[in-house]
Amino acid sequence: MRALASLFKELAGLFVDDGSLALAVLVWLTLVALLDQLAPAGWDGAVLFLGLAALLGENTRRAARRR
């Protein structure tokens, strides 16, 4: 059981380093998907990228301030 928990932790660690960034990315992706369903537009891709870039920039600046 401990080995399984350790394996799961290792696997989760491949994708999640800072939980708040991972959660924010998933929420943003969901919002853009909803936006695309409600009003498909040519700029959805740009909105998706700009949001992700802003999340990364904010997260790294916050991490830098904490240390």
Partner 1 sequence: MLASLPHAAPTVLAAFLASLVEFVEALTVVLAVGVTRGWRPALLGTALGLLLLLLLVALLGPALALVPLGALQLVVGTLLLLFGLRWLRKAVLRAAGIIPLHDERAAFASETAALGGAGMRRAWDILGVATAFKIVVLEGLEVVFILIAVGAAGGLLLPASLGAVAALIAVVALGAALHRPLAQVPENALKLVVGVLLSAFGTFWAGEGIGIRWPGADWAALALVAGFAATAAFSIAACRPRPAAALERGD
Catalog residues that contact partner 1 under the rule CB under 8 A.
Answer: 10-11, 14-18, 21-22, 25-26, 29, 32-33, 36-37, 40, 42, 44-45, 48-49, 52-53, 56-57, 59-61, 63-64, 67
Minimum CB distance to partner 1, residue 5 (Å) = 15
Min dist. Cβ of residue 1 to partner 1 (A): 18
Q: Which residue from 21, 7, 12 is spatially nearest to 61, judged by alpha carbons?
A: 21
Query: Residue 17 corresponds to which amino acid?
Result: D
Q: Pick the closer one to partner 1 by CB: 4 or 64.
A: 64
Closest CB 50 distance from partner 1, rounded Å: 8
10-21 per-residue burial string, b: 16 or more CB within 10 A, e: under 16: eeeeeeeeeeeb
Which letter does DSSP use for residue 17 in this model?
Answer: S
